Amino acid sequence: MRQYLFIFVLLLYGGTCMAQKVTVSGRVMDENGKPLPFGSIAIHNTTKGTAANDEGFYQYTLDKGTYELAFRFIGYKTQLIRVELQHDTELNVNMVQEFFKLDTIVLGSAQDPAVGIMRRAINLRKTRLNEVKSYSTDVYIKGVQKLVHAPKKFLGEDVAAVLNLDSSRRGLLYLSESESKLYYKHPDRFREVMTASKISGKNESLSFNKATDLYVNFYQNLVQMDELAIRGFVSPLADFAFSYYKYKLLGTSVEDGETIYKIQVIPRRAHDPVFQGTLYIANGTWRLQSVDLRLTRTANINFVDTLTLNQQFIPVTGDVWMPSSLQLSFKGKVLGFSFEGYFLGIYSNYLINANLSDKLFNGEILKIVTDVRQKDEGYWADKRPVPLTREETLDYVVKDSVEKIMSSRRYKDSVDAESNKLTFLKLAAFGYTKTSTVHHTEYNFSPVLPGIFYNTVEGFGYYYQASFKKEYNLKNSLNVTTRLRYGLSNRHFNPSVEARYYYDPVNLGFLSMKLGAEVLDISNLRSSVSVTNSINTLIYETNFRKFYEKRMVTFNGSYEAAPGLFGTSTLEYSQRFPMLNTSTYRIIDRKNKHFSSNNPFTPDENTELFPRHDAVTFMAELDYAPAARYVTRPEGKFYEPFKYPRFVVTYRKGFNNILGSDVDFDFASFEIYQNELKLGLLGKSSYTVKVGRFLNNRQLYYPDLHHFRGNNSLIFESSLRNFHFLDLYQFSASRQFFEAHYEHNLGGFIVNKIPLIRKLRLDEIIGGGYLDQPANQTYSELFFGLQRLIFRIDYSLAFNHDRKVYNGFKLSYRLRRK
């Protein structure tokens, strides 16, 4: 009997608690009844609140009681409304536009009063930047991207059907929501824990909207938005802001007894990396009350045409104000597609200057919890601070329904059957993939045509690759790759198979084994199957590339011992064979030209570069990135761009008289490198400095030397460590060396000032390379060029021991950062 009484009381108490919750909802509108999108609603004198959606509708769930609600919208008077909530209540609010008066301002001097106001605000910039030593806050982020116009056809496809657009070719492309707890410690340490995430129709996906992605602080000299520009944008409150901006006082108003100045921000020059719009600054404290700024294409932004930034601040404690909301709205057009959207961040429940342990900030800037995708619609309906619009609600319903169908085994099998159909185009040009979604397996077959190649040691040849992948769970997978290669002229067949098992992706842990035979570039730096090399050989009668053959058994492993400390090792037994030219075929016979031998040191004699030999070698490498920052997702660890230089120590050893090994050497190197060091308005730099030495070189063969990334082609894949003109093989080091590279991207600093050319949105690149090794003295390069996205053209000068040896243009593309 007691247990039934206890259950009855518990249910009664629980029901009573639930009954205490009531909802106040309505619309935020202007004086004419037009909705005001994203207006903020907060409990007065607290950091608890919500926001309206883009139709002006809001919904706020509270305990029963009496509240004073503050309704805010930039450019409108704050409305304080006292409301007693005993049941669900509808409360519509018509905001009154703020009238900013100038008649209370003394206008006696020629200088606009805004100048004095801004000087005071700028003088207090560092104070505002440093006054908060730590804080925690709850963050809700919503992202929406819409297509507002599209062509009827694109690449022969019906755009409306493919993208699920309406009859006017409009529709939602992307809708996401996330909830996080954000921690901050001065000066720039962040930690975020994402507890809930939802994407329209894709419950296996994540919303990668980090709270730090929406971090904008105008008290910093530069506002950095890496996706939009390399150089960043000058804050209107920067120490040097008067060199970039003019200011005009538009008037004053009074809010909560405090005078607010409305100041227009005007760029001094049209094409500087600057904002334009309006600041609202409080008298006396000279701090930001709200911000309404925008960036346009004149500021040399990428990917979008216009970005509008609205930020509102609320008093948190004492004289400290913190952002309550931040909205980034964008518009753009590309290839006939017009799009728009926004990302909205709502901040609440601030705890200022909390005692946050240093252990909390361990390099993990974002942790996404395992069940982040498991929150149902009931959870979101209760927790979501910004109500969904009708369009968004329908989009969730439709795409979630489709996703449930797509998650069924029957549907997956039918989709696999359709996508697994073999066509001639797949087989010949794009490759063929056979997938079993249910069993988490995938077979990949490379395309037939790109496997055809030509070089002078194998003649016409064929290279083919097939692989198998099996995923066991989010943390374990197996990859098996088979490679086949045959040369028609030398009649050599070289097969190999490699198996790689990922046992701990969170710590980048894998083990692999490779067995078989292969043909390699003698420097071991370049692919041995190259379309560029085939064209150069057949058309231009220049066989730059040299090759050797290897039969091997290789064991390889990788593991992250600590955050930012990466270790890899390789143990190999191999039999190495020199190769000689066996073919002289070319499509065009160039006058006064002939093929060189496969030995770069005896180009006119078909001699072997080295004798056939056996080698047992070992390599170990430690790569350390101080203060590495990373995101932990359920399926692994993913690093952010590294802020500080990285240090790499490499050791290689050749074992003598083990399994008949003929090599005997010890090699060590040390490298410091950094990609994309930000230098503010001057752009960003990348550099590397490397030294190395053979501690023992008693028995070396050419593949064991230390090789450098030379280049003989007009078009090449560039990287920080690439030389433009360095001979591919002549400079390889057998003793010691010193190598350095530097590259700086000015991000349009110069070309953005040139009419017409600035419309191309180009980046200027300057840099150089230096190599010193005893056998060839010194080699150096200087270059400058223009880049658009991944494509670049450079003019380069090369010097060998202070004597110019090459100059000319080079075309390059960059797919990798390193």
CATH number at residue 67: 2.60.40.10
**What is the pLDDT confidence band of residue 457, given thresholds at 50, 70 and 90?**
very high
**What is the pLDDT confidence band of residue 403, given thresholds at 50, 70 and 90?**
low
Work out the average pLDDT over 314-329.
Answer: 90
Nearest to 125 by CA among 287, 258, 291: 287
Work out the average pLDDT over 362-370.
Answer: 91
673 shares a domain with 540:
no
Q: What is the pLDDT of residue 157?
A: 72
Domain assignment of residue 419, yes or no: no
78 shares a domain with 52:
yes
Of 391-400, 566-575, 775-784, the least confident? 391-400
Q: What is the pLDDT of residue 98?
A: 83
Work out the average pLDDT over 52-80.
Answer: 91
Which amino acid is present at 625?
A
Parent domain of 318: 113-403
CATH number at residue 145: 2.50.20
pLDDT digits (tens, 9 = 90+) for 742-783: 999 998 888 888 888 888 888 999 999 999 998 878 999 999
Domain assignment of residue 79, yes or no: yes
Q: What is the pLDDT of residue 9?
A: 37
171 shares a domain with 72:
no
Nearest to 517 by CA among 556, 484, 479: 484
Choose the final residue of a domain: 349, 369, 403.
Answer: 403
Q: What is the pLDDT of residue 206?
A: 46
789 shares a domain with 731:
yes
Q: What is the pLDDT of residue 5?
A: 39
580 shares a domain with 566:
yes
**Helix 409-419 vs helix 390-407: angle between axes, to the nearest 10 degrees?**
80
208 shares a domain with 59:
no
577 burial (CB, 10 Å; 0-12 / 13-18 / 19+) is middle
Domain assignment of residue 758, yes or no: yes
Q: What percent of the chain has pLDDT over 90?
A: 59
Q: What is the pLDDT of residue 413?
A: 66
Domain assignment of residue 162, yes or no: yes
Of 94-108, 223-237, 633-647, 763-777, the least confident? 94-108
633 shares a domain with 674:
no
Question: Which element (helix H / strand E) includes 254?
Answer: strand 245-255
Question: Is the pLDDT assigned to residue 606 strictly greater than 70?
Answer: yes
Question: Is the pLDDT assigned to residue 213 strictly greater than 60?
Answer: yes
Question: Is the pLDDT assigned to residue 805 strictly greater than 90?
Answer: yes
Q: What is the pLDDT of residue 605?
A: 93
Domain assignment of residue 48, yes or no: yes
Q: What is the pLDDT of residue 220?
A: 95
227 shares a domain with 367:
yes
Q: What is the pLDDT of residue 377?
A: 82
455 HSE (CA, 13 A, CB side): 29
- CB 289, CB 278: distance < 8 Å: no
283 shares a domain with 218:
yes
Count structural domains, the chain. Answer: 4
Q: What is the pLDDT of residue 202?
A: 56
Task: Encode 249-262: b = buried (16+ Cβ within 10 Å), e = exposed.
Answer: bebbbeeeeeebbb
The pTM assigned to this predicted structure is 0.85
Residues 6+ apart with CB under 8 A from 247: 112, 114, 115, 117, 118, 236, 263, 264, 265, 266
678 shares a domain with 636:
no
Domain assignment of residue 607, yes or no: yes
Q: What is the pLDDT of residue 617?
A: 98
Of 80-94, 203-217, 569-583, the least confident? 203-217
* Mean pLDDT value across the chain: 88
- CB 50, CB 60: distance < 8 Å: yes
Say how far apart CA 286 and CA 260 lie, in whole Å. Answer: 9
DSSP character at residue 427: I
- 3-state SS assignment for residue 517: strand
Say how far apart CA 3 and CA 616 lie, in whole Å. Answer: 75
Helices (H), 27-95: none
Strands (E), 129-232: 134-149, 153-154, 157-158, 171-185, 189-199, 222-223
pLDDT digits (tens, 9 = 90+) for 503-548: 987 888 999 999 999 999 999 988 878 888 999 999 999 999 999 9
230 shares a domain with 371:
yes
**What is the pLDDT confidence band of residue 46, given thresholds at 50, 70 and 90?**
confident
Question: Is the pLDDT assigned to residue 203 strictly greater than 50?
Answer: no
670 shares a domain with 636:
no
Q: Sheet of 40-43: strands edge to edge?
A: 49-51, 40-43, 65-72, 79-85
Q: What is the pLDDT of residue 17?
A: 40
Work out the average pLDDT over 233-259.
Answer: 93
pLDDT digits (tens, 9 = 90+) for 584-601: 999 999 988 999 999 999
Domain assignment of residue 536, yes or no: yes
Work out the average pLDDT over 459-479.
Answer: 91
Of 204-218, 290-304, 684-698, 775-789, the least confident? 204-218
**What is the pLDDT confidence band of residue 16, given thresholds at 50, 70 and 90?**
very low
Residue 693 CA from chain centroid, whole number: 36
Nearest to 529 by CA among 455, 595, 447, 584: 455
Work out the average pLDDT over 105-133.
Answer: 84
Of 255-264, 617-626, 699-708, the least confident? 255-264
Q: What is the pLDDT of residue 103?
A: 57
pLDDT digits (tens, 9 = 90+) for 673-704: 999 899 988 999 999 999 999 999 999 999 99
